[in-house]
Structure 1
Amino acid sequence: MDKEEAKAKVSDLVGGFFSYDRQGKLAGMSEEDTKRAFIEPLFEALGWDVRNPEEVWENRSQAGGKRPDYAFRIDGVVRFFLEAKEAHAELSEPEAWQAINYSYNNSVPWALLTNFRELAIYNANWKAKGSEDSRFLRIEVSDYIGSFDDLWLLSKEGMVSGEMEKKAQRYGRLAREPVTKALYSDLMRWRSMISKSVSKNDPRKKFTKELLDEAVQRFLNRLIFIRTCEDRKIENEQLRAALRQWEGKNNRKLRSYVQEIVSEGFVDTYDSDIFFPHMAGELPVEDDVMAQVLDELYESPSGAQYNFDAINADVLGNIYEQYLATVMREGGSLVERDGKRKEMGIYYTPTYIVDYIVKNTLGELVSKAKTADDLRKITVLDPACGSGSFLIRAFETLREEYAKKNGGDHQMLSENVSKNAHDILTRNIHGVDLDMKAIEIAELNLLLRAATRRGLLPPLSDNIKRGNSLISGTKEEMEGHFGPHWKEKHPFNWETEFKEVMDGGGFDVVVGNPPYVRFDNLNEEERKFLFENYQTAVQKCDIYSFFIERGVSNLKDGASLGFIVSSSWLSQHSFNKLRRFILDTCAVKQIITTPSDTFEDAAVRTVIIILEKTKSASKKENNNVLTGTIDEKGRISNAKRIPQKIYSQHDDNLFVLEWDGEIQKLEQKLVENCKLLDDAAELSFGIMTGDDSKFTYSEKQHPKEDKKVLRGGNVKRYNIVWTGEYVWYDPEMMKKHKETARPGEPARFEAEKIVIKREGAGMITACLDREKYYSIGSTFIVNKKDVEFGLAYLLGLLNSKLINWWYGRRYRTVTQSINSYQKIPIHLASSSEQQPIVKLVEDMLDLNRKLVGMGAIQSSERHGVEEEIKRTDAQIDELVYRLYGIAEEEKKVIEESFAKN
């Protein structure tokens, strides 16, 4: 429906409304009547499919009272909430403010309130003291046609185009702090306040730092659970009532009122570990601190009114993932340690990634289930569950499927919610994490999903467990590997911890976001264990490699794994065993590239990988891999199907995601009549000093041992820009200072050589050094080995478009491995065939030296040199194309690929 058709339909609705008004029918219309007669048809005219719950979800629950009537979604993302009232009712301030706060707490920017007589649009992100401050537009029914452009902002088309956001930006209003940041800030402040208060009032040091941290977390978890139950209207506002009672009497400690709520109202009612006797109930928190925390659980100092029913799992998960990265000091003070986050590989997975992985693994499986009994048999595992985001989405997927198996009757599901939640959490869902804090948070998040009415909650201790997913074995095996203190490794014996599942062949689905931790960062004992127990173990790999191997090993035949991991495994040599393992054991269903900023604080490119474990050789042979790129709305672009056998046949089993049959033939053509660079020359790393801060200087300090040194940043195409840095080249001293130092032999630096910049994301940057520079480990060195090839000839090939195109299709990671350079195909050219390239390379070296000598000042002479460099570079490219026998059409493909980049 286009805009004019929509306008005509709205005009008819307005006419009908006024007709009802004249006849006196509006006064007798209920809210339900108003919704069906006017509000739903209005949004239907604006292009929304109001009968499709995936697009327009209607709240039919009679419980509660804080949830808006409708959520309007595009690609699964809520764009605005709408609260409906009967046609004769006034749009009140409390109702508007409630809708605004619900939207804010759910991280949704827009809230609507309408009785059809008028429609008010509010921006939930604006700083406001009341609903009037948040109001963006107000349209009366008499203006629906005259102000149709404003009304059209709410159309599905308008929401997709973002016109309302663009118009709102022109208002220049200050945004309030997002709920994620506001609640995180408050949570951390409460944690610090309580911890300091306890430390001050604990003279006998009953609470050690570790015990205090654990008790405070349990205490806050209890408060959040209670507040969520209050906002869901399944409990009265007990915390606020306790605060008021204490303020009125003030004859005993406030903490005793809170503990009374726990022991008398929640232990027996919910029967959950979170409320069982714990040191959290004995925290000697001062009354003023406790009062402030309880009060702020309802309204933050920033003005945010918290509705914990509206704060979804994604928001809580993000908050808690940041929470896990903080460390408590003695005395109860907290410090955020980004280092801890990196050390543990903690990065919260965006919702759209979680949704996509769960949909394409568990979602595929549940759609095939015929009965509720079939659903109960499904087992899901996240082996690095963190705060539980993947398990929560799995829970929701299963819960939705239970509803369908009940004939889509949500009321029936509501009546059976305890049984269904119990089945899902005790039969379907399994999680493991090394961090006990993460386990408690995952349990809390899952229990919050299940707590939709008063009643016993399922026990989670048999399904959500602490342990090191990668270290498994019997007591005897663990003692043999790690000695008498083996329990400190928290080994996780899969065969006993999840005995029923493993005896049944394994899990049906494994999902997650494994930690990003370099293999080198583990201690020697752990590295030794992994090398002996994982076939994918290679020096310089990452532990996500072992999580993939463990995940696949824990699957049944025919079951699915979905992970988001670094893209480094696609091409780096240190993951060649992982690639072989995947190809030997799985049909690779999907490899989806994610946006570059998927993880805000992690400088890593990632991919989603979906695998199906199979023993069938024909299934793997005939399988096609879906590749593409996902955006933040979960949509896939540039989708292609690549035969899996291509990867099995590919050199080093590289996974190239931009495959094309004709291009494959072109790549094959490049390697004909060639030697590998590793056979044509000597390749080595630059100096690994072990400690650059000790062995590199900006001025000479050791006249004999100090050498001019290059870093990767000093290496340009056909040019060196030395910045005055020296290396104290004393191999014995380097090794003595640090065992990991690798100074190498000086002869390779003293000779003429090619120096390559190690970082390049699929691009080669190389220069020729005749000045005997030394270089650091951010470079590779190419020394002459075969008299058949001169270094100038090799340099021309390395810097050419053709070789860069070949290289870039295989190796995309920012930091390159030496193995990737070793495989570069060097054409077997005779001396006379090499000579034209050598001459042009020498010209390029001279021209670049001349350009550097001119400094940064622009002049016609400088411009002339720059143009000559471009022409010479193009001539080298042309000679290389001819040398490798590249036809004009093939050349066009290569040139176009550079134009796109």
Structure 2
Amino acid sequence: MNKNEAFKKIESLINRFDDQINSYKRSDYNETQTRRDFIDPFFKALGWDIDNENGYAESYREVIHEDKVKIGSATKAPDYSFRLPGGKRLFFVEAKKPSVSIKDEILPAYQVRRYGWSAKLAISVITDFEEFAIYDCTKKPNIKDKPDNSRLRYLKYTEYLQEFDFLWDTFSKEKILQGGFDKFIAADTYKKGTTTVDSDFLASLENWRKLLATNISSKNRTLSEEEINYCVQQTIDRIIFLRIAEDRGIENYGLLKNCILNGDFYKNLVYSFIQADSKYNSGLFNLKQDLLTSKLEIDNKVIKAIINDLYYPLCPYEFSVISVEILGTAYEQFLGKQIKLDRSHRAKILPKPAVKKAGGVYYTPQYIVNKIVSSTLGPILDNKTPFDIQDITIADPACGSGSFLLGAYQYLIDWHTNYYTNNLKSLKKQRISPLTPNGNLSTTEKKRILLNNIYGVDIDINAVEVTKLSLLLKCLEGETEASIENQLKLINERVLPTLDENIKNGNSLVDTDFYDEELGNLKERIIKPFDWKAAFPKVFKKGGFDLIIGNPPWVSLNGKFGNQILEPEVKKYLISKYRGNTYRPNLYEYFVHRGLDLTKENGLFSFIVPDRLGFNEQFINLRNRLLKETQILHLIYKTPFPRIVTDTLIFNFKKSSAISKNYSFSVGEFGKKLQTKSIDDYMSDSEGKFSYEENKEIKNILDKIYKNPNVIPLGAIFESKTGVILDSKQITNKKIKTTQRKIARGRSIGRYQFLETFYSEFNKKTIKGGTNDESKLSKKEKILLRKTGYPLLCTFDKTGVYPEQSLYFLINNKTELSMEYFTGLLNSNIFQFVYYYKLITNKDSTPQLKKIDLDKFPILLCDLRNSDQKSLYNEIVKHVKVLLDLYQQLADIKIQSTIEQTKSKISYSENRINELFLKLYNLSEYSITIEESL
């Protein structure tokens, strides 16, 4: 139906409604009639396949009609879910009968906002055809909100034709596919003050943990710290599972609420857990194996507070529409903290050391999960049948809350559903169909896939339990009370599988050969050595996993936090076992080694890691191993990762012992056209860098710089040092003690100038690390260079100021060339160009120059015996001295005309220095390219 036809159809609906409005507004004209007579035809006119006339399987329908389940005066689910091809929800529509006043009543608005917010949708709609209201669902709803709160648009049916362009451009299927819906959201939804459902659910989880931890530690004083963490996690997981099952219609609504009516509330819960075990068999409710939680003592008021938080009207969550992925986002953050006991057995909630060092937990965005899963699992499944792929094995060796395993499991569910739907004739031969009557995968089939194909390991037992919970909830999607009863009675099979043999607790990096070390029982429980072959014997009989995916921990093992994260003997073990670098050891390096070990011959291996894996010198051995043992399929840099300051690399390798010497692969940046690279480019690089060029001219300029016979690395000329790390609380901006030293911080310097000076004591109490040798720090001839930012700024110090940790300083010039010459070079366009295109780390987030890369900067040594070079050198030194003097003068000048004149002189000298260095490096022909690329 085109736009003109849609206009006429909606016009006829308006006329019909207007002609008999009094009849339609009677209380006995109900919602079902309203939907059939007006709302369905309205959206059909906008191009939606409301009745699934295309015959798609349930998971591919454009519009899902929800069965309404009454809960008091509220409903359990929205009437319509409008979706993109592939099943992604766009918006909900809640239907009311015309006798309801959508404009003035509080409850309808709260309901539709609650649905949309719980599903993390931007907007949703409520309509009775007489009225059409669009609500912003990015703000957390409150039962006390007025009906116009977060209402973006409100239309009466008499305005539909006048506003038809808006309705068509925003809600017609045709325009949605062209981006009209996205434009409306970008323009009209709230930008500030929003609380997403995952962050709000996290706050609820943390509150429940605090309540339980405090009460359990107080009333169960024989429990250890480890046991209390386990009991709290299991109790929360069980409650969440059953509450979700209620809202999905699998359990009777109010099951948990009934547990707080009388008696001992926790014992009532335990009884419900035992009943659940007989139904689900998931391991989650196995109180025969779990000997702790059934014996807990918990006060009624604690259980009551948690249960009440989960029910309408106090609860803002509609669990029937909250996806497992949204819950996973909250749980990932939740797992970043742990319960610790003080000497009085009182509980405190504290960040885990690794999380504290990393600055928080960073949940992998869904689009990254989807990218890695589709680019690896897709090719494995291509042109295969379910029989062909029934035994493929997929593992995440640091599974966390299970985001990658969930992504892989969902991909397999979708693939199998699509395959069976397109091959219905072959299903007639099967005794039990893998599809349900409505076209979804049967629970039996989903269980088979989960048990055969999905594996994971994590060192955190609570993460293991959350991964199991997430996978079980995914397996349960689409089930009803009737379908479960059918399995229990007819198939004599409990609904869910036990995942104990698939998702395991242990240290993925540490083998059981670590037992050769002298370990006490406590250390063994902390380190958790893990034997992969013993844990998954069937997998390793076939050589390993078909696919390894994930986002391993990015945690530096340097400094005091490093020792908190790993026992010293473990750190030593890892470096030895994986031939790891000792300069800046990081956990993800060892996980890449381990991932490769776990991948079978011709299997695929894909992680997202910091981009420095592809470039930094410390990873030469690892890159060389990857080049020898794998075929590179693609390398994607700079995939956006919210809140992460480090630039990223997604790699995809195929493990192969028979690698072609001449093959090509794709490399480049996320969102840009990928380049085709030859493996020869990497094999011929002495450091095996996984590089790529943003354009050929830049590559040519870099090649010319590095191949110049007169350049040598900066580290061969200078001793480069990092400044002293001082207690920041002891640093002052004025000298308040005679014993304080003069300090330069990053913000102290600009190009050729000092901007401000700081002061600090210099003793054991104030020094926290870095260079602490006063004879080096106080050198009166040194170059100071900022570590971070772009462009990097540099100046020359003759005063003996002490550089602080945010600065590098260069001392002990081994050449006859003056310090002014090198100061000019490090402030030149050539230095900024090489820094930006060759040496920089985190280019698009927090740019920084690592010391190891600073030492590689190609310094051109002037030959002072060559008259041409000597002339250029002398002019450079002259202009640098002029600039050092002019910048000092500029700070004291008060007259504006003199300031402008001085700036003009500065500009001339800086430009002249750039010209002179271009001549020295034989790059004058590239002057415009270099200048425009900075």
State the TM-score, normalized to the length of structure 2: 0.82
Question: Where does residue 290 of structure 1 map in the other structure?
Answer: 303
1:840 positional shift: 1.4
Question: Where does residue 633 of structure 1 map in the other structure?
Answer: none
Query: What is the CA–CA distance in structure 1 between the aligned matches of 2:179 and 2:526, rounded to whole Å?
Result: 57
Query: What is the CA–CA distance in structure 2 between the aligned matches of 1:76 and 1:811, rounded to whole Å?
Result: 43
* Structure 2 residue matching 1:665: 3-state secondary structure: helix
Query: What is the CA–CA distance in structure 1 between the aligned matches of 2:916 and 2:518, rounded to whole Å?
Result: 58
The answer (yes or no) to whether the contact 1:68–1:81 under 8 Å persists in 2 is: yes
C-alpha distance after superposition, 1:715-765 (max 9, x if no partner)? 332223451425638xxx799x98x7653582685352322222346x443
Query: What is the CA–CA distance in structure 2 between the aligned matches of 1:886 and 1:176, rounded to whole Å?
Result: 52
* Structure 2 residue matching 1:273: 3-state secondary structure: coil
Q: Does residue 1:551 correspond to 2:595, yes or no?
A: yes
1:557–1:229 distance in 2 versus 1, CA, 3 Å: same
C-alpha distance after superposition, 1:592-651 (max 9, x if no partner)? 34466x343x543333333333334436x422333223xxxxxx2354444444344346
Question: Where does residue 324 of structure 2 map in the other structure?
Answer: 313
C-alpha distance after superposition, 1:117-167 (max 9, x if no partner)? 654423334545379345443445543221124313334256455335534
Query: What is the CA–CA distance in structure 1 between the aligned matches of 2:680 and 2:129, rounded to whole Å?
Result: 60
- Of stretches 569-578 and 445-454 in structure 1, the one that deviates more from structure 2 is 569-578
Question: Where does residue 14 of structure 1 map in the other structure?
Answer: 10
Query: What is the CA–CA distance in structure 2 between the aligned matches of 1:716 and 1:785, rounded to whole Å?
Result: 22
Q: Which amino acid aligns with 2:855?
A: Q
The answer (yes or no) to whether the contact 2:714–2:858 under 8 Å persists in 1 is: no
Mapping for residues 846-865 of structure 1, pairs under 5 Å: 846-854=885-893, 859-865=896-902
Query: What is the CA–CA distance in structure 1 between the aligned matches of 2:770 and 2:700, rounded to whole Å?
Result: 43
1:255 positional shift: 2.4
C-alpha distance after superposition, 1:783-839 (max 9, x if no partner)? 354435332222222211022202221122244333212222222432214212111
Query: What is the CA–CA distance in structure 2 between the aligned matches of 1:184 and 1:878, rounded to whole Å?
Result: 57
The answer (yes or no) to whether the contact 1:116–1:141 under 8 Å persists in 2 is: yes
1:589–1:450 distance in 2 versus 1, CA, 3 Å: same
Query: What is the CA–CA distance in structure 1 between the aligned matches of 2:673 and 2:882, rounded to whole Å?
Result: 41
The answer (yes or no) to whether the contact 1:656–1:810 under 8 Å persists in 2 is: no
2:137 to 124, 131, 143: 124
Question: Where does residue 728 of structure 1 map in the other structure?
Answer: 762
Q: Does residue 1:214 correspond to 2:252, yes or no?
A: no
1:556 positional shift: 2.2
Q: Does residue 1:654 correspond to 2:689, yes or no?
A: yes
Question: Where does residue 916 of structure 2 map in the other structure?
Answer: 879
Query: What is the CA–CA distance in structure 2 between the aligned matches of 1:692 and 1:179, rounded to whole Å?
Result: 38
1:194 to 163, 187, 212: 212
Question: Where does residue 683 of structure 1 map in the other structure?
Answer: 719
* Structure 1 residue matching 2:548: 3-state secondary structure: strand
Question: Where does residue 772 of structure 2 map in the other structure?
Answer: 743
The answer (yes or no) to whether the contact 1:642–1:659 under 8 Å persists in 2 is: no
Query: What is the CA–CA distance in structure 1 between the aligned matches of 2:600 and 2:745, rounded to whole Å?
Result: 49
The answer (yes or no) to whether the contact 1:10–1:42 under 8 Å persists in 2 is: yes
Query: What is the CA–CA distance in structure 2 between the aligned matches of 1:200 and 1:480, rounded to whole Å?
Result: 37
Mapping for residues 563-642 of structure 1, pairs under 5 Å: 563-594=607-638, 598-600=641-643, 602-618=644-660, 621-629=662-670, 636-637=671-672, 639-642=674-677
Q: Which amino acid aligns with 1:307?
A: E
Root mean square deviation of aligned Cα? 3.9
C-alpha distance after superposition, 1:408-435 (max 9, x if no partner)? 5763686752222222221111111111
Query: What is the CA–CA distance in structure 2 between the aligned matches of 1:39 and 1:691, rounded to whole Å?
Result: 65
The answer (yes or no) to whether the contact 1:314–1:389 under 8 Å persists in 2 is: yes
- Of stretches 671-680 and 53-62 in structure 1, the one that deviates more from structure 2 is 53-62
The answer (yes or no) to whether the contact 1:100–1:131 under 8 Å persists in 2 is: no
Query: What is the CA–CA distance in structure 1 between the aligned matches of 2:555 and 2:194, rounded to whole Å?
Result: 36
Q: Which amino acid aligns with 1:388?
A: G
Question: Where does residue 163 of structure 1 map in the other structure?
Answer: 184
Query: What is the CA–CA distance in structure 1 between the aligned matches of 2:582 and 2:53, rounded to whole Å?
Result: 53
Q: Which amino acid aligns with 1:399?
A: I
Q: Does residue 1:439 correspond to 2:464, yes or no?
A: yes
Mapping for residues 2-401 of structure 1, pairs under 5 Å: 7-15=3-11, 17=13, 37-44=41-48, 57-59=62-64, 66=77, 68-73=79-84, 78-83=89-94, 98-114=111-127, 119-126=132-139, 127-129=141-143, 132-133=147-148, 135-151=151-167, 152-154=169-171, 155-156=175-176, 157=178, 159-164=180-185, 166-167=187-188, 177-202=195-220, 205-240=221-256, 242-243=258-259, 247=261, 250=262, 252-263=263-274, 265-277=275-287, 278=290, 279-299=292-312, 301=314, 304-330=315-341, 333-337=347-351, 341-343=355-357, 346-366=361-381, 368-401=382-415
* Structure 1 residue matching 2:904: 3-state secondary structure: helix
C-alpha distance after superposition, 1:483-532 (max 9, x if no partner)? 77545311122222222222312222222111121132144212211121
Q: Which amino acid aligns with 2:610?
A: S
Query: What is the CA–CA distance in structure 2 between the aligned matches of 1:481 and 1:76, rounded to whole Å?
Result: 54
Q: Which amino acid aligns with 2:503?
A: I
1:390 positional shift: 1.0
The answer (yes or no) to whether the contact 1:681–1:783 under 8 Å persists in 2 is: no
The answer (yes or no) to whether the contact 1:467–1:490 under 8 Å persists in 2 is: yes
Question: Where does residue 781 of structure 1 map in the other structure?
Answer: 809
1:98–1:378 distance in 2 versus 1, CA, 3 Å: farther
* Structure 1 residue matching 2:602: 3-state secondary structure: strand
* Structure 2 residue matching 1:376: 3-state secondary structure: coil
1:755–1:497 distance in 2 versus 1, CA, 3 Å: same
1:377 positional shift: 1.9
1:756–1:808 distance in 2 versus 1, CA, 3 Å: same
Q: Which amino acid aligns with 1:467?
A: G
Q: Which amino acid aligns with 2:469?
A: L
Question: Where does residue 839 of structure 1 map in the other structure?
Answer: 878
1:462–1:375 distance in 2 versus 1, CA, 3 Å: same
1:451 positional shift: 1.8
The answer (yes or no) to whether the contact 2:796–2:823 under 8 Å persists in 1 is: yes
* Structure 2 residue matching 1:8: 3-state secondary structure: helix
1:79 positional shift: 3.2
- Of stretches 485-494 and 316-325 in structure 1, the one that deviates more from structure 2 is 485-494
1:481–1:649 distance in 2 versus 1, CA, 3 Å: farther
Query: What is the CA–CA distance in structure 2 between the aligned matches of 1:98 and 1:459, rounded to whole Å?
Result: 36
Q: Which amino acid aligns with 1:565?
A: V
Mapping for residues 700-711 of structure 1, pairs under 5 Å: 708-711=742-745
Query: What is the CA–CA distance in structure 1 between the aligned matches of 2:606 and 2:306, rounded to whole Å?
Result: 40
C-alpha distance after superposition, 1:259-288 (max 9, x if no partner)? 22222x211111121111133233322223
1:405 positional shift: 2.1
Question: Where does residue 632 of structure 1 map in the other structure?
Answer: none
Query: What is the CA–CA distance in structure 2 between the aligned matches of 1:433 and 1:49, rounded to whole Å?
Result: 46
Q: Which amino acid aligns with 2:364?
A: T
> Any unmatched runs of 5+ in structure 2?
70-75, 425-434, 485-493, 842-846, 865-869
The answer (yes or no) to whether the contact 1:676–1:822 under 8 Å persists in 2 is: no
1:478–1:123 distance in 2 versus 1, CA, 3 Å: same
Query: What is the CA–CA distance in structure 1 between the aligned matches of 2:801 and 2:720, rounded to whole Å?
Result: 15
- Of stretches 7-16 and 875-884 in structure 1, the one that deviates more from structure 2 is 7-16
Query: What is the CA–CA distance in structure 2 between the aligned matches of 1:772 and 1:795, rounded to whole Å?
Result: 16
1:321 positional shift: 1.8
1:390–1:32 distance in 2 versus 1, CA, 3 Å: farther
Q: Does residue 1:817 correspond to 2:850, yes or no?
A: yes
- Of stretches 127-136 and 458-467 in structure 1, the one that deviates more from structure 2 is 127-136
2:832 to 798, 804, 827: 804
Query: What is the CA–CA distance in structure 1 between the aligned matches of 2:533 and 2:874, rounded to whole Å?
Result: 66
1:386 positional shift: 0.8
1:29–1:182 distance in 2 versus 1, CA, 3 Å: closer
* Structure 2 residue matching 1:308: 3-state secondary structure: coil
The answer (yes or no) to whether the contact 1:479–1:486 under 8 Å persists in 2 is: no
Query: What is the CA–CA distance in structure 1 between the aligned matches of 2:186 and 2:704, rounded to whole Å?
Result: 52
1:189 positional shift: 2.0
The answer (yes or no) to whether the contact 2:574–2:580 under 8 Å persists in 1 is: no
2:448 to 423, 427, 439: 423
Query: What is the CA–CA distance in structure 2 between the aligned matches of 1:77 and 1:378, rounded to whole Å?
Result: 27
